[in-house]
Amino acid sequence: MNLPNKLTLLRVCLIPFFLLFIYWKVPFHFLIALVIFAGASITDALDGKIARKRNLVTNFGKFLDPLADKVLVISALTVFVELSEINMGAIPLIIISAREFMVSGLRLLAADSGVVVAAGMWGKLKTAFTMVSIVVALVWLSVCLDFDFNIADGLKNAMDNIVIPVLIWISTALTVISGGVYLKGYWHLIDSDK
């Protein structure tokens, strides 16, 4: 197994540990979850670059890399819906999940036709922005709940109800745009007569 695939596999293996520390109320558990999520996000940036630079692109990587990204992001957003500290609601999670199912379906159709659906600029931007937004939310959770700083009510209200939800909604908008770009680019693979 080459290095990019090992990094992708590491990202998959980090997801249960991320979830474990989100829920396991040990001291600084949000900080630990933040470090795990950030580490997993860094492997996402590295594996593709290394694979392309060293010509190590494999079918395993093409399959597992986008799947690992989807599971990592959807896991974090699902946790945020459950946590009362972040006021984002379930709608962004539903939209993002629906887009991921749609793109995965397109990839299956494309593979059946011998076409590889590579990640485009909008898809990469969506993934990067979403991961950064999740990191910001985890930093905020750690500051508020792990360290229990005396934070002014106005700042806490702004972060919980404006800043973090706006970041998540921008991620959602980027997700819709990138999904539309994929759909437009591969619409020809969807034939209602077949």
Residue 117 has pLDDT above 80, yes or no: no
Q: Where are the alpha helices (DSSP H) in 83-187?
A: 91-112, 121-141, 153-158, 164-185
Q: What is the pLDDT of residues 58-77, one digit of tens each?
A: 878 877 888 898 999 999 99
Q: Which pair of tokens denotes residue 74? A: 């959807």
Give the CATH number for residue 128: 1.20.120
pTM over 0.85: yes
- 129 lies in some domain: yes
- 193 lies in some domain: no
Q: Which domain holds residue 175?
A: 3-83+90-188
- 194 lies in some domain: no
Task: Report the number of distinct structural domains present in the chain.
Answer: 1
- 144 lies in some domain: yes
At residue 85's C-alpha, the angle toward residues 83 and 89, to 5°, is: 60
- The one-letter code for the residue type at 133 is S
Q: What is the pLDDT of residues 9-19, one digit of tens each?
A: 999 999 999 99
Q: What's the pLDDT score for residue 26?
A: 94
